[in-house]
Amino acid sequence: MLSIGSSTQGASERYIQSFGCSWLRHIMDIGIAKGYQALDGVIFSAGTCDSLQNVSDIWRKVFSEQWAYNLTFPVLTDTKAAVEYLQNEFETLVQKISEKFPDNPHGFTITDSIKLYNRKRINLQKLLSLVSERRFRYSDFFKLALLGDILPIETINPYLSIKIEQVESSSQLTIPDSPRLLLSGGMFDSFRLFEEIPEFDQIVTDDLSFGARNFKFSIPQSGFLQGYAQAYLERIPDPTAFDMEKRWKGLEEAIRHHNIEGVILLGMKFCDPDSFEFVSIQNNLKDLDIPYLTLETSPDLSNIQQIQTRLSAYIEMLS
């Protein structure tokens, strides 16, 4: 992970709108401090939240050597028109990528890629089920889930398979089975929080954008882009989709399936989609009589001590 010095922290202030969230500021600060030379380009998801709206224009200005593209997602997720729209967006993106990067360094066909990424999704699902059985730490799982998005697919897949074999052949961990916690939220990706606060290993499953929501679906091998659009829109939506009914259905199912005793709602500072949905989720959790803890942080984890104190008190209350 890149760390940024205090002299460059806040360097993004002059580029980002006042309502920009802490996550967006953080990735801009890192880019200004260290550059993103390792990346050939960046694809932004437009039509999701206010912070990300039109960031690609700012990105082009700040990192002028880098290719930046806006992929617009439909607001509604459960209509035929939404699937057609997203399929069309994907087709345009594929065309733009092949124009911009005509070489295919890995030599993968689209069918190869679907197989490899579906394999990764299955491996991550398996690892998460081992977390629920208390055989693998949530903090280790989350780190691997993030690595799965960074390392080349041909590297991460064998690694995940070996890890699963190792965990399956070892005995259970010494983590107490109660309380069983679910972690819900949006674009949280600072895994150091889970490494530094051992109480987070009480988590048995999650509902984060870079966690379980990122791999709990698979893409059909035929009709690739149409199938991808459909699978993507049918999955449990991110907070940015503002589809509370579908979102809560997925959460409720996870609560029952994993015998959840408590829910942690983890939001990113100044993230409106997180704040909006937490109110509905909290009301639904009250109806189910599930105690919850709402935490808010930023990518630099400046309030980590406070989080540790509040989490310890919450777990003590549940025990």
Q: Which residues contact ligand SF4 (rule: CB under 6 A)?
A: 21, 23-24, 49, 51-52, 186-187, 240, 268, 271-274
Say which amino acid occupies 180. Answer: R
Instruction: Work out the number of other CB atoms within 10 angstroms of the CB of residue 263.
Output: 23
Phi, psi angles (nearest 5°) of residue 174: -95, 15
Find the helix or strand (DSSP H, E) in which 67 lies. Answer: strand 67-72
CA 176 to chain centre: 27
* Phi/psi at 171 (5° precision): -85, 175
Least Cβ distance, residue 258 to ligand SF4 (angstroms): 25
What is the C-alpha radius of gyration for the chain, rounded to an integer number of angstroms?
Answer: 20
Here the tokens at position 311 are: 């989490």
Nearest to 128 by CA among 76, 163, 169, 159: 163
Choice between 188 and 248, CB closer to ligand SF4: 188
State which residue, 49 or 260, has the beta carbon closest to ligand SF4.
49
Q: Work out how close the CB of 25 gets to ligand SF4 at its nearest, in angstroms, rounded to a whole number.
A: 9
User: In the chain, where does DSSP find H-type helix?
Assistant: 22-34, 55-62, 80-100, 110-132, 138-150, 153-168, 192-196, 224-234, 244-257, 272-288, 304-318
DSSP 21-57: -HHHHHHHHHHHHH--TT-SEEEEEESS-TTTTTHHH
Q: For the CB of residue 21, give the shortest distance to ligand SF4 in the complex, in Å.
A: 3
The nearer residue to ligand SF4, 201 or 274, going by C-beta atoms, is 274
Shortest CB 123 distance to ligand SF4, Å: 26
Taking the least distance from each CB to ligand SF4, the nearer of 199 and 272 is 272
Q: Which is nearer to ligand SF4, 188 or 228 (CB)?
A: 188
49/293 with CB nearer ligand SF4? 49
47 versus 227: smaller Cβ distance to ligand SF4: 47
At its nearest, how many Å lie between ligand SF4 and the CB of residue 164?
Answer: 30
When the beta carbons of 136 and 194 are compared against ligand SF4, the nearer one is 194
Amino acid at the residue 217 = F
Of 240, 248, 290, 285, the closest CA to residue 267 belongs to: 240
Least CB distance to ligand SF4 at residue 82 (A)? 19
Task: List the one residue out of 137, 143, 144 whose CA is nearest residue 172.
Answer: 137
Least distance to ligand SF4, CB of residue 188, Å: 8
Backbone angle region of 132, left / alpha / beta, with phi > 0 → left and psi within -120 to 50 → alpha: alpha
Side-chain-side CA neighbours of 295 within 13 Å: the count stands at: 26
Minimal distance in Å, beta carbon 62 to ligand SF4?
A: 16
> Least distance from C-beta 23 to ligand SF4, angstroms?
4
> Residue 20 or residue 262: which is nearer to ligand SF4 going by CB?
20
Q: Are 135 and 170 in contact (CB under 8 A)?
A: yes
